[in-house]
Structure 1
Amino acid sequence: MQDLSSAEKRATIRKVTLRLVPILAIAYFFNSLEKTNIGLAALQMNESLGLTTAAFGLASGLLFVGYAVFEVPSNLIQYKVGARKWLARIMITWGACAAATGFVNSEASLYILRILLGIAEAGFYPGVILYFTLWVPKQYRGTMLSLFVLGGTLSSVIGSPLTGLLLTPDHYFGIESWRAMFVIEGIPAILVGVVCLFKLVDRPAEAKWLTGRERNWLESSIAAEHALVESNHSGKGVLRAIGDIRVLMLSLIYFCLKCGQYALAFFLPLMIVAFQTQAGTKMSTLQVSLMVAIPALVAIAPAILWARHSDKTGERFWHATIPAIVGAIGICVSAVLHEPVLIMIAICFAMIGLTSQSAPFYQIPGFFLTGAAAATAFGLINSLGNLGGFVAPTVFGTLKDATGNYVAPSLLMGGFLIVAAVLTALLPRMFKSLNPNQHAAQPVVASK
């Protein structure tokens, strides 16, 4: 291994981060926006298409059906053909499907477009995680992933007000504003996909913007990590990953986490509208979108600092457990409060937990899987986990219709997060191969 000094390593990671993360974070911005902008669109679309709350919840969640079915195949194809071509393909097709949502004319056509959008998007998030495992040593990945996830968080901070602004007029040249919004927000994803074809590089060895010593250090460090995992866990093999009980347990944990996350993502605009009755006020769509942005804005700094602390200490399990507990407390407390301001504070608390959890959590599969098995595991965890994005809005909407309020569905989603927290904390006890003393990432050491 051709090693570098601590300062040179940090400079190399900084160079890689500045080259790769911004374009991927921008892509994730639109990825997240086009999953959840239906929440704000619902303020006009539901009446236009005659959707009940339950039907809207089903439409929101159907995206994850197509997503789940094609997630693992998508990741395996990326492993074969490379991230540059495949991630670009994902972005271009999901942008086209997102824009096409503006042309739906019935409940059924909306359902079909949401399924197609899920199929198009399948593999993006786990594909980026897999991409990072081929680029940087594990002690830097948590921070790098948190910066990538920042793109998704900013979709609520910036994207939600943008969506609200686009929805402010009733029509654009006779076209309903919610339809125009879907088209306008779908086109940038296509453009970002085209840019990725020219900006991304599949492996460090192909990066002409790195020096020879930097390329050698990255390639040799990652190869050594993979060799260690394979010697300890037989970390290769697609079938091994699919049948690995640890992967299935991580999928269950992620499912519970996504139930809480997507319940908030899809229904927060409608929950805020419900504040109007309690507060005796009337809010415009733009005002609602600005309110939606507040929890995500509050969560940005804690999420990045939490990921850096996880990288610095090399600890992953408690760094994934504690945010789930924080999210559960926030959602459950919001369910029993009655003052809109206090409810929003509780939701902000929940969002901090939900946003901080993913970066340390997604470092765990790399403890025991590499290569095609890791690609399969990332895809399987994300696909089975994101079924929570189907279950949560469907159940949430049905319970809201049945009870007339958001108390019961919110408490149920908080319960899912408690289950996720308990299972994550117990992982090292359930599986000796996940003993944190054996697998703690090497802390990042400062240069002298």
Structure 2
Amino acid sequence: MPPTPFPAGEDLAASTVRTVTLRLMPLLGLLYLIAYIDRQNVSYAKLEMVGSLGLSETAYGLGASLFFLGYFLFEVPANVFLERVGARIWFARIMITWGIVTVLLGFTQGTAMFYVLRFLLGAAEAGFFPGVLFALTLWFPHAHRARMIGWFMIASAVANAVGAAVGGALLGLNGLLGLQGWQWVFLATGAPAILMAAVVLVVLPDGPETAPWLSRAQRDWLARTLRAEREDGGHVDHGNPFAALLDRRVLMLAGVYISLPLAAYGLGYWLPTVVKGFGVSNLTNGFLNIIPWMVTALALWWVPRHAARTGAQGNALTWHVVGPALVGAAGLALSVVLPGNAVKFACLCVAAAGTFAAQPVFWSMPGTFLRGASAAAGIAAINSVGNLGGFVAQNAVPFIRDQTRSDLVPMLFLAACLAVGAGLMFVVLSALRRDAARRAVPNAVRPA
């Protein structure tokens, strides 16, 4: 089908962005929804899996955290491969492998097998999230990226909500076909990834130049706009993409990003356990856990939209990262000290929203100074190092719980990490802004 001409009177730029958004973002969001469910399903399987396999809370935490070790080791090479072979083939490969590993988790026989499969799941999925972030730099001008990342990340909130409801219901299938409920959690959530790989191969273009639903004028406008941003924005394309790993700006962003995944995964993986401590059934637990992720989805929509609509620049843009992170830290801390289960749960809803809503504007930053294969490697490096926070959280939270015998005290640890991270983020993002201003001076002053 030939591309539809943009409506009379509609700006070419607006038409192009709208077309790309409608054609690309729902598919990418669906893929991330499936990926995130497969990443988080272990938090619901845990409710029965720990007892069935004889795992301690600490052993479970280590197994869950090994996902992030595999993720860390393979993410940068995976993203460099993506830049070379294209998003269509590479995303399909990622989905098939992570789907197979998720299904195999349903047949876990003991602690060692659980450890190996969680590590392999991280290795299989490595490159998907940063790969999408890199792909967005090929499809959207910078002014639109934070909003698109927000739309994309809404899928993670929806995934947590869907996963909560589905996870609680699947646990109720205990005994069906001779399988336990926790096994059904892995089998039912791994199969969609394998099926969607075929859809990706058919539907997803590698880039704007191969998209049949863009007109020639739209492709030309997008190419001109992105080229102008790269040439006028102090972008770096290292000769060797792995050299981006030593870029001072990449290292700073990677260091401060750790606090966000640490708090996000610590809360996301542990929330079903906290809610179960309120004395509810597995099914009720699942449906209650929909609420914080719906609040998070709203925050992921509003924060980058507010940044874009207000034309936030400088410190104002920085506060769209730091502000939500501080709100998240406050919510985590208050969930421990305030009385009443309903109040505690409300605080955790606010904490989830703040922790996730800090990320879209943050992830628009690397695209302001990296391009090409360097952008692919740099974004992956930031995400892989940052996601080591998930490894820390998955070991620290159950350890603190085992030591204190409290499901909520670990939230104080997450709150402290997030508060410190927010302070460091303000310093680093301010430094990057000043660096960008200095680099722009030679381009701004040109001879007559």
TM-score of the alignment, normalized to the shorter chain, above 0.5: yes
Question: Which of the numbers 273, 277, 290 marks the counterpart of 2:276?
Answer: 273
SS of residue in 2 equivalent to 1:173: helix
1:234 CA displacement = 3.6
- 1:422 correspondence with 2:423: yes
SS of residue in 2 equivalent to 1:103: coil
Q: Larger deviation: 263-272 or 7-16?
A: 7-16
2:68 alignment counterpart: 64
Q: How far apart are the structure 1 equivalents of 2:291 and 2:227?
A: 42
1:352 alignment counterpart: 353
Question: Which of the numbers 250, 256, 262 marks the counterpart of 1:253?
Answer: 256
1:309 alignment counterpart: 306
Partner amino acid, structure 2, of 1:131: A
Report if the CA contact (8 A) 2:168-2:285 is conserved.
yes
Partner amino acid, structure 1, of 2:338: L
Partner amino acid, structure 2, of 1:84: R
Report if the CA contact (8 A) 2:266-2:394 is conserved.
yes
Identity among equivalent pairs (%): 37
Deviations 1:73-126 (A, max 9, x none): 000000011111101111111011111100110011001100000000001000
Q: How far apart are the structure 2 equivalents of 1:332 and 1:101?
A: 34
Q: How far apart are the structure 2 equivalents of 1:352 and 1:310?
A: 16
Partner amino acid, structure 2, of 1:271: V
Report if the CA contact (8 A) 1:143-1:308 is conserved.
yes
1:399 alignment counterpart: 400
- 1:187 correspondence with 2:191: yes
TM-score (norm 2): 0.92
Question: Which of the numbers 198, 205, 226 marks the counterpart of 2:202?
Answer: 198
Q: How far apart are the structure 2 equivalents of 1:206 and 1:330?
A: 45
- 1:148 correspondence with 2:152: yes
1:51 alignment counterpart: 55
Matches for 1:126-275 after TM superposition, within 5 Å:
126-229=130-233, 232=234, 234-237=236-239, 238-275=241-278
Report if the CA contact (8 A) 1:428-1:434 is conserved.
no
2:25 alignment counterpart: 21
Partner amino acid, structure 1, of 2:298: A
1:130 CA displacement = 0.3
Deviations 1:380-415 (A, max 9, x none): 011011111111010110111011113442111111
How many residue pairs get matched?
428
Deviations 1:116-170 (A, max 9, x none): 0000000100000000100111111111111111111101222210111111132
2:3 alignment counterpart: none
Question: Which of the numbers 36, 40, 44 marks the counterpart of 2:40?
Answer: 36
- 1:124 correspondence with 2:128: yes
1:297 alignment counterpart: 294
2:5 alignment counterpart: none
Q: CA RMSD in A?
A: 1.8
- 1:384 correspondence with 2:388: no
1:180 CA displacement = 1.9
Q: How far apart are the structure 2 equivalents of 1:380 and 1:148?
A: 20
1:279 alignment counterpart: none
TM-score (norm 1): 0.92
Report if the CA contact (8 A) 1:258-1:385 is conserved.
yes
Q: How far apart are the structure 2 equivalents of 1:233 and 1:214?
A: 24
Q: How far apart are the structure 1 equivalents of 2:343 and 2:285?
A: 17
Segments of structure 2 that go 5 or more residues without pairing to the other structure are 1-7, 442-448
Q: How far apart are the structure 1 equivalents of 2:30 and 2:186?
A: 18
2:445 alignment counterpart: none
Partner amino acid, structure 2, of 1:286: L
1:60 CA displacement = 1.2
1:444 alignment counterpart: none
1:257 CA displacement = 0.9
- 1:108 correspondence with 2:112: yes
The 1:203–1:332 alpha-carbon spacing in structure 2 relative to 1, beyond 3 Å, is: same
Q: How far apart are the structure 2 equivalents of 1:428 and 1:35?
A: 29
1:233 CA displacement = 5.0
1:245 CA displacement = 2.0
Q: How far apart are the structure 2 equivalents of 1:233 and 1:89?
A: 30
Report if the CA contact (8 A) 1:331-1:346 is conserved.
yes
